A and B are shown apart, each in its own frame.
Chain A
């Protein structure tokens, strides 16, 4: 940008917000019960919805009897799919990917049910209690269609089909190739491999999904309040589904209680609630209970990976091959498609390493479970788990230390930009520095000594490393999900100074806990020269900017931050021009800082408020042509996006009697570019790692062979509590990216590195048993079986 005046004396004095641990603007309201989440909305005379959900995994709907429910106290309407046909256009998650079948999304199940938890009938009543009473009175007759919950069995000929029109359960298939993998593997000095599995997880935001469609009769308009992190995507999709223009459909995500991706897709209930509000001309509300949230929100991961890696005699990885089977659930999710999660596994499998040849094939297979969708890390927690296990297995086979084998394989500084086999390009990022910083901070040698001492005492300690790279802040040249037709590559900021001098900055991003109201205001404060407390950030509102999508894929600091920077600098020039009139000085001599325009080197100054009054209210001070509206808008597109990277190091102890794993130490060395707010960055790492530890040790959605969910409560689905998560130490290696501001995205990384680091640490702790950690979570039961098997094999 044109701002090259950073060495000027006035700038040296300027308070810097970017880089400072500024306390969050969001906190006072959230700490005092003054936040407003969707379930807190109280629209006038609202109706309440309860859904009758399928208790069958795969069945034809033969008959639905709702007569008793219709007659129940307080019931206003009861809808099944037949009552809605013709009232909406199905939403189709299209893609330019070949070998892909897009399953249509409808508000209620049509003709058959495909998972336990799928909504079949909706009751609308004067209260939630009455709606739930009526749901109990609905009778549904089903005809079973055969078990289809196993993704591998569902690929076989003769397996029951979830979508007959697709002609197969394989909804997506893709392959990446580089070089001659067969020849390189055959020539490799050492080959390691295995069958790896990352089981299905729940996103489990603490706020269950919640929607409030608020009807305004005067304008025949609906405002949907939604616990979504993609309100812009939801607005555009429902506009198409219900033929409502943007002037009559606004979608707002108010305070959102976490998402981690699980609120990042369009949901059938969002379509239903808007449709019901439109049909009934009343406001309509629904909030999931935890059972509904676990059994009908998009789920995570669920892949089986058969992989092999070959190394030369020096420990250099030469070839990598993988076949990935993704258990994508019953539907392809909008807008990301069922390809998002499993395709990303093969896209990112080579990771931050130089690997000469690669073949990665993926199949996404329909099963009778809720759809998989985005979840923190998307694909990369699995690709990193597999690649990092293979690195450690290679190191062991070659007699190398895990630290050393990574030194030999990470892309080096002089090799950037580096294109990996799937076509992803890593821009210059501190891969090796992160590895060394993690080892140094943890005092790797001391940990190895401690491990050896503990071993002599009969205790099993292990150290696990995991290095990864991810693509963040993705611009328009790359689709966030493969072949997806909507633009996710740009972000708009509209910054306006009103007649009181107050600053409103509107964005299409949608914070769901990340603190974007704070971080974006920090950027604006610096680049506009404003006071932090004068800036109000508006986000999560489809009405705030013409086009928006939301917050996902570690994009908002890079794209929102870039847009904030450019728009601030444009507005800064306008402010300087006005100030030059008021202060009778040349524009070049004026600086903006702390909410004032000052003539550099003098005590002459005017406040933003005075400038605003001169432009808008006081008709004498400025010539008419100088009264420029104090507003600037900028849409930023980083084109390619930017890399972020980290190395995680975990030390664990496995109690071989109880098979319980305790995390003793955890270090993260990460490069997220220029840091906007270190306090918030650390918080994102802590939370991401905690979810990664959950994925590695505790969390698993278990479906039986028929497709019944066995872990539908928080008692059975174990999310880590304060007792299970260790204190972490975080090192920042700040290498600035080429994106505006030098930022890189970082919200997901913690979850990418932790499963691999924990798995490697457990395998290291149990090395003497010669067992492999290839299925996560590594629960006590799984570890017990592995240890027993090893003991039996060794005759112990």
Chain B
């Protein structure tokens, strides 16, 4: 039994008809073609699929698309563009906070959420905030540095 949903993604409204079992991650990637959101585990541990839904970071692999009906979603595609990175993306580049780039969209969306909600006064706080996102390449040191720098330059 398919269901009609209306979802706003990165400011644009989409009307789609989806199966109730469709994961939000698959909806974003396959239905809308927004492949910047990555799927690393499909059981809510790795954090690669993290998006922001109605103001909070959410695992899109643990969310059904029908639950996003009426919601406002932000994905990595809504941050900056290659020639105009946003402040956090720019700090990731400056601090070499990414290698293979697969966990990066999740790290960025988690980082955006942390920057909006928390003082991030210490590295411990940043690391605690990132503890739900796995990265296998960087050893985290430069991701922490990028978020520290972005936190310091917040208005």
User: Does B bind A?
Assistant: yes
Q: Name the B residues within 8 Å of A715 (CB-CB).
A: 43, 45
Partner of A722 from the list B33, B79, B81, B140 (CB cut-off 8 Å) is B140
Q: Name the B residues within 8 Å of A688 (CB-CB).
A: 139
- For chain B residues 102-131, which have a beta carbon within 8 Å of chain A? 102-105, 108, 123, 126-128, 130-131
- B75 lies within 8 A of A725 (CB): no
What does the 1/0 interface line of A206-219 toward B look like (CB < 8 Å)? 11100000000000
- A256 lies within 8 A of B100 (CB): yes
Q: Is A178 an interface residue (CB 8 A)?
A: no
Q: Is A143 an interface residue (CB 8 A)?
A: no
- A290 lies within 8 A of B131 (CB): no
Bound CA–CA A27/B97 (angstroms): 10
What does the 1/0 interface line of A688-722 toward B look like (CB < 8 Å)? 11110000000000000000000001110001011
Nearest CB to that of B75 among chain A residues?
A33
Q: Is A255 an interface residue (CB 8 A)?
A: yes
Q: Name the A residues within 8 Å of B7 (CB-CB).
A: none
Q: Which of B22, B41, B92, B132 has the most CB of A within 10 A?
A: B41
Partner of A23 from the list B19, B94, B139 (CB cut-off 8 Å) is B94
- B141 lies within 8 A of A725 (CB): yes
Q: Is A622 an interface residue (CB 8 A)?
A: no
Given contacts A33-B37, A515-B99, A725-B141, contact A206 B79 (CB under 8 A): no
What does the 1/0 interface line of A496-538 toward B look like (CB < 8 Å)? 0000000000000000111100000000000000000000000
- B102 lies within 8 A of A690 (CB): no
- B41 lies within 8 A of A290 (CB): yes
Q: Name the A residues within 8 Å of B46 (CB-CB).
A: 206, 290, 714
Bound CA–CA A689/B128 (angstroms): 20
Given contacts A289-B42, A722-B127, A725-B139, contact A680 B98 (CB under 8 A): no
**Which of the 9-residue segments B52-60, B64-72, B82-90 touches chain A?**
B82-90
The bracket for how many chain A residues form the interface is 35 or more
Bound CA–CA A728/B105 (angstroms): 25
Nearest CB to that of B94 among chain A residues?
A23
- B83 lies within 8 A of A28 (CB): yes
Q: Name the A residues within 8 Å of B127 (CB-CB).
A: 722-723
- B100 lies within 8 A of A258 (CB): yes
Q: Name the B residues within 8 Å of A679 (CB-CB).
A: 96
**Which of the 9-residue segments A34-42, A379-387, A457-465, A570-578 touches chain B?**
A34-42
- A722 lies within 8 A of B144 (CB): yes
A389 smallest CB distance to B (angstroms): 24
Given contacts A27-B93, A28-B93, A721-B134, contact A713 B80 (CB under 8 A): no
Bound CA–CA A28/B82 (angstroms): 5
Q: Name the B residues within 8 Å of A207 (CB-CB).
A: 38, 40, 100, 102
- A31 lies within 8 A of B128 (CB): no
Q: Which of A23, A204, A205, A683 has the most CB of B within 10 A?
A: A683
Q: Is A129 an interface residue (CB 8 A)?
A: yes
B147 smallest CB distance to A (angstroms): 10
Partner of A714 from the list B45, B98, B102, B105 (CB cut-off 8 Å) is B45
- For chain A residues 22-69, which have a beta carbon within 8 Å of chain B? 23-24, 26-37, 39-40, 42
Q: Name the A residues within 8 Å of B93 (CB-CB).
A: 23-24, 27-28, 31
Nearest CB to that of A287 among chain B residues?
B39
What does the 1/0 interface line of B123-155 toward A look like (CB < 8 Å)? 100111011111111111111100000000000
Given contacts A42-B33, A714-B46, A722-B143, contact A683 B136 (CB under 8 A): no
Nearest CB to that of B129 among chain A residues?
A722
- A205 lies within 8 A of B136 (CB): yes
The bracket for how many chain B residues form the interface is 35 or more
- B101 lies within 8 A of A686 (CB): no
B133 smallest CB distance to A (angstroms): 8
Q: Name the A residues within 8 Å of B96 (CB-CB).
A: 24, 679-680, 682-683
Q: Name the A residues within 8 Å of B3 (CB-CB).
A: none
Bound CA–CA A514/B82 (angstroms): 20
Q: Name the A residues within 8 Å of B133 (CB-CB).
A: 721-722
B66 smallest CB distance to A (angstroms): 14
A52 smallest CB distance to B (angstroms): 18
Q: Is B76 an interface residue (CB 8 A)?
A: yes
Q: Is A264 an interface residue (CB 8 A)?
A: no
Nearest CB to that of B85 among chain A residues?
A31
Bound CA–CA A682/B99 (angstroms): 11
Partner of A33 from the list B77, B103, B136, B142 (CB cut-off 8 Å) is B77
- A719 lies within 8 A of B82 (CB): no
- A686 lies within 8 A of B141 (CB): yes
Q: Is A260 an interface residue (CB 8 A)?
A: yes
- A260 lies within 8 A of B136 (CB): yes
Given contacts A37-B102, A257-B100, contact A686 B81 (CB under 8 A): no
Bound CA–CA A23/B98 (angstroms): 11
- A32 lies within 8 A of B134 (CB): no
- For chain A residues 278-301, which have a beta carbon within 8 Å of chain B? 287, 289-290
A366 smallest CB distance to B (angstroms): 28
B37 smallest CB distance to A (angstroms): 7
Q: Is B21 an interface residue (CB 8 A)?
A: yes
- A257 lies within 8 A of B38 (CB): yes
A116 smallest CB distance to B (angstroms): 18
Partner of B21 from the list A129, A687, A691, A719 (CB cut-off 8 Å) is A129
Q: Which of B104, B128, B144 has the most CB of A within 10 A?
A: B104
Nearest CB to that of B80 among chain A residues?
A32
Q: Is A727 an interface residue (CB 8 A)?
A: yes
Partner of B139 from the list A31, A129, A723, A728 (CB cut-off 8 Å) is A728
Bound CA–CA A207/B40 (angstroms): 6
Partner of A687 from the list B36, B123, B138 (CB cut-off 8 Å) is B138
Bound CA–CA A620/B53 (angstroms): 63
Q: Name the A residues within 8 Å of B41 (CB-CB).
A: 289-290, 713-714
- A255 lies within 8 A of B82 (CB): no
Nearest CB to that of A40 among chain B residues?
B35
Partner of A30 from the list B79, B80, B104 (CB cut-off 8 Å) is B104
A667 smallest CB distance to B (angstroms): 13
Q: Name the B residues within 8 Å of A287 (CB-CB).
A: 39
- A31 lies within 8 A of B89 (CB): yes
- A208 lies within 8 A of B40 (CB): yes
B129 smallest CB distance to A (angstroms): 8
Instruction: Report A's interface with B, CB cutoff 8 A.
Output: 23-24, 26-37, 39-40, 42, 129, 204-208, 255-258, 260, 287, 289-290, 512-515, 679-680, 682-683, 686-691, 713-715, 719, 721-723, 725, 727-728, 750
* 9 nearest CB pairs, A to B: A33-B36, A513-B100, A257-B102, A30-B101, A686-B139, A690-B139, A28-B82, A714-B45, A40-B35
Q: List 11 A-B contacts (CB under 8 A).
A: A27-B101, A31-B76, A31-B98, A37-B102, A39-B38, A205-B136, A206-B134, A207-B40, A719-B134, A721-B130, A721-B133
